[in-house]
Chain A
């Protein structure tokens, strides 16, 4: 049972090369960020306050940093399952998909205040909704989860407000009655973004990869496995364009990438984030003139005794981006997440509620307009090369009552790192609900052996 799986995280070896650091300076193990990595990301892929800390390999043309070494901005990632095997009902499947996912990254800084992140991606066998309530599996190459510019607005704001010299320092750091308050940002991200990277449970930085679904003749035979807290959760919901939406598809704030604008800033231990997106992964098509606004706040704690953590709250308003039958509806999402890191233990969890609003009377069949999901993952670095992970997912689904079913899955994984950028993993996922006829509960017990490689 081996397969190469799309692991939806990313490590950027280019940054390690650029700053002459090991991967674990920013990661517990790639792709999960440690506290320094989070600060690095928050500062626009730079060391906070340092502004292009390592410029030996760069050419400075005015205010533009020109890379002299392409490898300082280029990274490549391949992952997938050498063998995957599903058991528990007929017909059993054994697949070989290598590579499942290929990703190319270009990331770096353009000036002290402007950074960029470009991701191109090839994914094999992705399940996608199509009109008519049907789905298809297809392989794609194109823009990946993220493709954006990040701009630090602080220098511009300082200039606009005429701050300079010591006043700049005061404004940069702020002051409270009892002491200084550090202020970072505001940073704006424009383009295709995944703002969940700032959430306490960032779905693009988890160790247990998603399991793709399976489609047969346009019908989902088995839904994939994603962190259920962030899944769409509703049976029978479509996008505003009428494409079907997988009930386990990550959507909205934790979409695997959507076009929009995101603004975030950090004041002391509090991170505040606001933005607007197209919603339901509409790509670059402007199908949502109202846009979907969201707001997130995260409070960090710790920073000594090898401990750090955070608590986050999220609210997202899906504005006419979803459809039930042929009626556009609003979709309210809210939830919390938390993260605690202590030495080699890393726990992160999220619970998210979803409510379909303004559901019209007279839809084709009874519809449960509320749903929620819960996800808890724990990782433990047992040795410097062995990472053990376990994740529990629970989905209390909504949608058409005649179609819906709930899900509970527990997954365990052992990941062995040959090097920080090259790992094998063995994983097993077990369906606690028991195999049923519903495509959600037809998630059959699953074993995989995969490879994850970063250059």
Chain B
């Protein structure tokens, strides 16, 4: 039966081809000029219209995991990490893993936007194609509707720009390894960066495993050099990963050595 297509295959093919041509032409003619990049002036300031649009986008795309009230209890949430970490964030609790601010502080709007834009590998898709304007609108909606506190507009952490080639040297990796030992990273991540096999708990009491530093695909906060630097400085609130900005205060450039050591574990 399955290959008896002769009688009407032409008819179906005609319908398909006609439909494709019709809708392609209609949609091509309907292309909107994207216009100039959205004006990012005063990015932190919520505007009612932006929040309203952010709400609509949230209810189309985010609600399934983060839930109607932003508590991370959407219908799909529990299956992302069944019986374990990770779970979608509860925005109302005011604890955010991915920030550029000090540990314990709220994120900036640009931090929320970065997470929405980049996603979290294995867990949350990238919403890059929403567009920067829409990403900001969603961030503003989350901020005003769920966090309900004024978000910081700057961070007190000193971010020192990377100097030199974007790769590790034998010397920088060696210095980074010394820091790795001195700061006690091996207690969770293991001497070789692959983890110790211990199971920890996040703030919700869910099981969580330390990241395997040799596998960049497990890095939730991004894999770029700057992402790793930021993670070291801020930590991941709600998890056992602390921030080390105090330890590097005044010598922030040294944190790049630790970044280089982690890069060396990954051979990049």
Q: CB of B126 within 8 A of chain A?
A: yes
What is the size category of the interface that chain B forms with chain A? Answer: 35 or more
User: A residues within 8 A CB of B128?
Assistant: 53-55
Chain B 135-156 interface mask (CB, 8 Å, partner A; 1/0): 0000000000000000000000
Q: CB of B265 within 8 A of chain A?
A: no
- A284 in contact with B5 given A54-B126, A173-B56 (CB within 8 Å): yes
Question: CA separation between A284 and B75, bound complex, in Å?
Answer: 38
A283 close to B1 (CB less than 8 A): yes
A383 close to B83 (CB less than 8 A): yes
Question: CA separation between A438 and B137, bound complex, in Å?
Answer: 64
B127 close to A50 (CB less than 8 A): yes
Identity of the chain A residue whose Cβ is nearest the Cβ of B84 in the assembled complex: A384
- A159 in contact with B29 given A53-B127, A142-B2, A304-B68 (CB within 8 Å): yes
B32 close to A164 (CB less than 8 A): yes
Contact of A344 among B2, B4, B82 (CB under 8 A): B82
User: B residues within 8 A CB of A304?
Assistant: 67-69, 71, 73-75
B9 close to A25 (CB less than 8 A): no
Question: CA separation between A261 and B5, bound complex, in Å?
Answer: 17
A190 close to B68 (CB less than 8 A): no
Q: CB of B76 within 8 A of chain A?
A: yes
What secondary structure prevails in chain A residues at the interface with B? mixed
Q: CB of B47 within 8 A of chain A?
A: no
Identity of the chain A residue whose Cβ is nearest the Cβ of B9 in the assembled complex: A284
Q: CB of A184 within 8 A of chain B?
A: yes
User: A residues within 8 A CB of B217?
Assistant: 20
Q: CB of A160 within 8 A of chain B?
A: yes
Question: CA separation between A54 and B130, bound complex, in Å?
Answer: 11
Chain A 107-151 interface mask (CB, 8 Å, partner B; 1/0): 000010110000000000000100000000000111100000101
Q: CB of A290 within 8 A of chain B?
A: no
Contact of B78 among A21, A49, A50, A306 (CB under 8 A): A306
Q: CB of A302 within 8 A of chain B?
A: yes
Please report which residues of chain A, range 141-194, place their CB below 8 angstroms from some CB of chain B when the two chains form the complex: 141-143, 149, 151, 153, 155-156, 158-160, 164-165, 168-169, 173, 180, 182, 184, 188, 190-191
A35 close to B76 (CB less than 8 A): yes
A35 close to B74 (CB less than 8 A): yes
Question: CA separation between A305 and B72, bound complex, in Å?
Answer: 9
Within the complex, the shortest CB–CB distance from A377 to chain B, in Å, comes to 17
Within the complex, the shortest CB–CB distance from B79 to chain A, in Å, comes to 4
Question: CA separation between A34 and B129, bound complex, in Å?
Answer: 23
Q: CB of B179 within 8 A of chain A?
A: no
B52 close to A180 (CB less than 8 A): yes
Closest 7 CB pairs between A and B? A142-B2, A159-B30, A308-B75, A35-B75, A36-B64, A156-B26, A36-B76
Binding site for A on B (CB under 8 A): 1-5, 7-9, 11-12, 15-16, 19-20, 22-24, 26-32, 52-53, 55-57, 59-61, 63-65, 67-69, 71, 73-80, 82-84, 119, 121-130, 134, 217
Additional pairs, 7, CB under 8 Å, beyond known A303-B68, A304-B73: A36-B64, A52-B129, A142-B2, A156-B26, A159-B26, A159-B29, A302-B75
A-B contact pairs, 30 of them (CB 8 A): A21-B125, A22-B80, A22-B122, A28-B79, A29-B79, A34-B75, A35-B64, A35-B75, A36-B76, A47-B125, A49-B61, A49-B130, A51-B129, A53-B126, A63-B28, A113-B23, A114-B20, A140-B1, A151-B20, A156-B22, A156-B23, A180-B55, A188-B19, A190-B19, A259-B12, A281-B1, A303-B64, A304-B68, A304-B74, A308-B74
